[in-house]
């Protein structure tokens, strides 16, 4: 990492001609006290790479006001769902950290996890294009540790000073109150196109990472660099990773739009149902471990939250696994009132000087204090530590307990009930990092490369994923009314990949490509491909935990249905029955098959694969029923595996697919292994070769 770089001092203003200083058309920006602001891009810190300073009144006022904008739901991450579980430690990690939960092999630490979208309100849908929150509260024996992460390892901005601006830009416009829970509008793209540092995050958000199939099938990241400290005071940097044991999976955009209409609670329902049936979601917690020497030599600044460290350079070391095995008893008491704060770490951990993390440490505590009515939110059971807690803090709004006895201060000389005392041997200590620097509002020049890792992410994707990214940019920017914003964004993409920029420009109908945006640092095109960045390169090898939708009608062949059900259950998949009526059907043996969904209430977007097993009775009537055709056409368009029996060929013909059947469409019959072969094919989740043909129609 070029700490002694000769790069000139830069700010977020670089990369375009947008940086407007005060003039007759633009009055001077001030604080709420009327104090003129010289720099609204960078927080105050001790040196360009040093920690944030508490005296930064501009940052504190900005974040304080932002944190208090909404009552009572969260300003961001308002739509969420939470579950209980445990973290099981793999082995003694005392050489790495003295954190208590990593000392004893096999020990289980209770956890509570909240998954959330970022931009929407509590009443928004589950599957918008958005980053996802992945916040975990560990109730350790030495206090609560909150790992407040996302399903994307980088972020839009480098400094917490810009967080209110980012959220204001992506939220509904203040003059009209829309659009809600989406980024496809002028304000968002105006802001990010003026902030080149957002480019890397935009690549992730325009990828399928932003439309996960379920929280069960997404990764989680701590985003920032943290420190682990062992009992000898030795420190290593770490980056946290959650790896889903169920494998990665997302949906496609057209599917996401229809899921939100068919079931706006799709994600929370999926998680709830999986836990209730005993199919407990699991993740492995791992860390990338590196020392100060690596931090000095790495191509990018490890304090920059818009950068990641490829796993091929620093592998992820597993520490333990997390299992979510219990739903909440009351949504409000637990999921809504849980309070996560990035500042909540335990002995054996420490923060880094990442300027976004430093601002979050201030902002989260303030937010929770306001949102939950006062400083006593740790008295709420979901937030209370499960280890002993002793302090002299008292009173305040809704205090449940207060210090006992006469002494509510320390030091004191009372003998009968002196109260708790500090413990230098076991108490929390910050890592004694040497800090020096001039008080400045300055962005470190080592943060200046905004495009190289965006290129690395793009070239690490499969061709299918690259096409989805281009399509997402075209869709989002096509909703932007101002052409200059669209052009400005394409100018940034030219610094990422010429082919990508060309596809987006063509999709937007631009008459000519603009000149590439001015880059503070010449983008690199020599970074290696990182397979870990792709979803499709890290998919599951099983159809377990997925959902098969089976359409049946009167006279469905009982033998084929039973064989398919047995094959799905053997795989660990869930089979849902869709029928013309919710009352179900009678199969060929005279048995009643109950339905989980009525055909016009259970579209194929709700399932990972589908099977068409109608009976011969009324087949022509079913073929003319539009919900049946939609069920089939959507499954085909979304590249899902489709199983079908002989009678279903009439339905395929009605849907216009009689001559379009491909290797993702498999005939199911009474042969012994027919259903098993179909389920085995479903392990690939999608038949992606179909996508080009579908898009050409």
Looking at every residue in the chain, the average pLDDT score rounds to 92
pLDDT at residue 26 in the model: 76
Place of tokens 């931090």: 295
91-96: Cβ within 8 A, 24+ apart: 93/319, 94/230, 94/231, 95/230, 96/228, 96/230, 96/236, 96/289
Q: Tell me the angle at which helices 463-478 and 498-508 cross, rounded to the nearest 10 degrees.
A: 40
Residues 545 and 512 in one domain: no
Q: Give the domain-ending residue among 511, 536, 561.
A: 536
What tens digit of pLDDT does each residue of 118-170 get? 999 999 999 999 999 999 999 999 989 999 999 999 999 999 999 999 999 99
570 and 487 belong to one structural domain: no
Given a cut of 60, whether residue 17 has pLDDT beyond it is: no
Together in a domain, 50 and 134: yes
Instruction: Indicate if 201 and 61 belong to the same structural domain.
Output: yes
| Nearest partner of 183 among 395, 485, 555, judged by Cα | 485
DSSP string, 253-277: HHHHHHHHHH-TTHHHHHHHHHHHT
Report the CATH number that the domain containing residue 522 is assigned in CATH: 1.20.1370.20
Please indicate, yes or no, whether residues 256 and 299 belong to a single structural domain of this protein: yes
Span 251-270, mean pLDDT? 98
632-659 residue pLDDT tens: 999 999 999 999 999 999 999 999 998 9
Contacts of 327 (CB under 8 A, 6+ apart): 83, 84, 272, 275, 276
53 and 140 fall within a common domain: yes
**C-beta of residue 634 within 8 angstroms of C-beta of residue 609:** no
Question: 439 lies in a domain?
Answer: no
CA-CA distances (angstroms) from residue 460 to 112, 188, 207, 449, 532?
33, 26, 12, 19, 8
* pLDDT surpassing 60 at residue 19: no
Q: Decide the pairing of beta strands 235-244 and 226-229.
A: antiparallel
Tokens of 436: 């020096």
Q: How confident is the model at residue 5 (pLDDT cuts 50, 70, 90)?
A: very low
> DSSP secondary-structure letter at 426?
T
Domain boundary among 326, 351, 379: 379
Q: What is the mean pLDDT of residues 366-393?
A: 88
The lowest-confidence range among 143-147, 270-274, 412-416, 563-567 is 412-416
In this structure, what are the phi and psi dihedrals at residue 61, rounded to the nearest 5 degrees?
Answer: -65, -40
pLDDT for 12 beyond 70: no
Residue 168 CA to residue 119 CA, distance in Å, equals 10
Mean pLDDT check: name the lowest of 13-17, 306-310, 670-674.
Answer: 13-17
Phi, psi of 265 (to 5 degrees): -105, 25
Residues 453, 596 within the same domain = no
What is the pLDDT confidence band of residue 4, given thresholds at 50, 70 and 90?
very low
Among 357, 379, 401, which residue terminates a domain? 379
| Helices of type H across 229-340 | 253-262, 266-276, 292-297, 331
Six token digits for residue 256: 């996401």
Q: How far, in whole angstroms, is CA 475 from its chain's centroid? A: 21
Structural domain including 303 reads: 44-379
100 located within any domain: yes
Interval 210-223: pLDDT, tens: 999 999 999 999 99
Q: CATH number of the domain that 683 lies in?
A: 3.40.50.880
* Cα–Cα distance measured from residue 49 to residue 443, given in angstroms and rounded to the nearest whole number: 8
Residue 510 has pLDDT above 60, yes or no: yes
Q: What band does 697 get if pLDDT is binned at 50, 70 and 90?
A: low
Interior CA angle at 213 toward 666 and 125, to 5°? 130
> What pLDDT score does 70 carry?
62
Higher model confidence: residue 57 or residue 475? 475
Domain count along the chain: 3
pLDDT in tens, 101-112: 999 999 999 999
**Within this chain, do residues 59 and 190 fall inside the same structural domain, yes or no?**
yes
pLDDT of amino acid 21: 52
The yes-or-no verdict on residue 15 having pLDDT over 50 is no
Mean pLDDT of 284-291: 98
**355 located within any domain:** yes
Q: Clarify whether residues 196 and 212 are in a common domain.
A: yes
Q: Are residues 278 and 189 in the same domain?
A: yes
Q: Is residue 11 part of a domain?
A: no
3-state secondary structure 554-584: CCCCHHHHHHHHHHHHHHCCEEEEEECCCCC
Active-site residue (options: 89, 144, 150, 383): 150
pLDDT > 90? residue 403? no
CA distances from 367 to 223, 350, 375, 618, 662 (A): 20, 21, 11, 60, 53
Asked whether residue 589 is domain-assigned, the answer is yes
In b/e form, how buried is each residue of 80-109, taking b as 16+ CB within 10 angstroms?
A: bbbbbbbbbbbeebeebbbbbbbbeeeebb
Q: Which of 295, 257, 233 is nearest to 471 (CA)?
A: 257
Active site annotation includes 121:
no
Judge whether 18 and 331 are in contact, CB under 8 Å.
no
Q: Which residues pair with 320 in a beta bridge?
A: 89, 285
Instruction: Give the DSSP letter string of 127-188.
Output: -SS--EEEEEEEEEBTEEEEEEEESSSS-S-SSGGGHHHHHHHHSPPTTT----S---SHHH
Same domain, 499 and 597: no
User: Is 468 an annotated catalytic residue?
Assistant: no
* Residue 159 covered by a domain: yes
> Is residue 64 predicted with pLDDT exceeding 90?
no
As a whole-number percent, the residues of the chain with pLDDT over 90 amount to: 78
Q: Which of 42, 77, 144, 468 is the catalytic position? A: 77
């Amino acid at each position: 990492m070029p700490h002694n770089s000769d790069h000139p001092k830069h700010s977020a203003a670089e990369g375009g001609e947008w940086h407007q200083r005060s003039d007759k058309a633009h009055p001077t920006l001030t604080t709420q006290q009327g104090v003129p602001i010289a720099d609204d891009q960078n927080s105050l810190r001790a040196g360009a790479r040093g920690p944030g300073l508490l005296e930064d009144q501009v940052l504190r006022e900005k974040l304080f006001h932002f944190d208090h904008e909404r009552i009572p739901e969260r300003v961001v991450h308002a739509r969420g769902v939470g579950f209980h579980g445990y973290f099981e430690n793999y082995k003694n990690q005392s050489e790495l950290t003295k954190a208590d939960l990593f000392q004893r092999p096999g020990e289980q630490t209770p956890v509570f996890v909240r998954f959330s979208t970022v931009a929407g309100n509590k009443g928004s849908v589950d599957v918008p294009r958005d980053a996802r929150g992945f916040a975990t509260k560990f109730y350790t024996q030495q206090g609560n540790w909150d790992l407040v992460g996302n399903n994307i390892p980088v972020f839009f901005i480098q400094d917490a000073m810009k967080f209110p601006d980012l959220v204001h830009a992506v939220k509904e416009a203040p003059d009209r109150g829309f659009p809600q829970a989406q980024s496809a509008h002028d304000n968002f793209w105006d802001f990010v196109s003026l902030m080149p540092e957002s480019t890397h995050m935009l690549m992730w958000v325009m990828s399928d990472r932003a439309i996960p199939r379920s929280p069960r099938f997404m990764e989680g990241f701590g985003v920032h660099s943290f420190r682990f400290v062992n009992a000898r005071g030795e420190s290593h940097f770490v980056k946290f990773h959650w790896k889903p044991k169920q494998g990665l999976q997302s949906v496609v955009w057209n599917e996401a739009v229809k899921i939100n209409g068919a079931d706006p609670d799709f994600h929370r329902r999926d998680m709830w149902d999986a836990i209730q049936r005993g199919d407990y979601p699991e993740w492995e917690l791992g860390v990338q471990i590196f020392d100060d020497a690596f931090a000095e030599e790495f191509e990018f600044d490890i304090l920059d939250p818009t950068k990641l460290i490829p796993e091929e350079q620093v592998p992820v070391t597993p520490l333990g696994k997390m299992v979510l095995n219990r739903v909440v008893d009351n949504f409000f008491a637990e999921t809504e009132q849980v309070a996560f704060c990035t500042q909540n770490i335990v002995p054996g951990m420490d923060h880094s000087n990442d300027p976004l993390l430093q601002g979050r440490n201030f902002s989260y505590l303030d937010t929770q204090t306001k949102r939950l009515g006062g400083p006593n939110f740790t008295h709420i059971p979901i937030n209370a530590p499960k280890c002993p807690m002793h302090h002299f803090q008292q009173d305040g709004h809704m205090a449940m307990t207060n210090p006992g006895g006469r002494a509510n201060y320390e030091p004191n000389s009372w003998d009968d009930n002196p109260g708790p005392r500090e413990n230098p041997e076991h108490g929390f200590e910050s890592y004694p990092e040497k800090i020096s620097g001039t008080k400045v509002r300055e962005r470190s020049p080592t943060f200046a490369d905004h495009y190289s890792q965006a290129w690395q992410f793009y070239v690490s994707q499969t061709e299918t994923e690259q096409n989805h990214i281009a399509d997402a940019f075209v869709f989002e920017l096509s909703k932007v009314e101002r052409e200059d914003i669209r052009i400005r964004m394409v100018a940034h993409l030219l610094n990422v990949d010429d082919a990508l920029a060309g596809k987006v420009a063509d999709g937007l109908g631009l008459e000519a490509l603009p000149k590439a945006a001015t880059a503070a640092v010449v983008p690199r095109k020599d970074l290696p491909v990182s397979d870990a960045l792709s979803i499709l390169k890290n998919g599951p090898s099983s159809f377990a935990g997925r959902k098969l939708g089976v359409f049946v009608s009167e006279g469905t062949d009982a033998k084929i249905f039973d064989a398919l059900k047995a094959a799905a259950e053997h795989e660990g998949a869930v089979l849902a029955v869709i029928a013309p009526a919710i009352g179900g059907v009678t199969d060929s043996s005279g048995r009643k098959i109950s339905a989980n969904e009525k055909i016009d209430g259970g579209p194929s977007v709700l399932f990972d694969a589908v099977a068409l097993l109608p009976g011969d009775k009324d087949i022509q009537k079913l073929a003319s029923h539009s919900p049946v055709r939609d069920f089939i056409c959507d499954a085909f368009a979304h590249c899902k595996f489709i199983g079908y029996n002989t009678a279903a060929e009439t339905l395929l013909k009605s849907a216009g697919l009689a001559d379009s059947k491909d290797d993702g469409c498999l005939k199911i019959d009474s042969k012994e292994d027919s259903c098993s072969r179909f389920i085995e094919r479903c392990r690939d989740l999608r038949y992606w070769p179909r996508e080009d043909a579908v898009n050409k129609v």
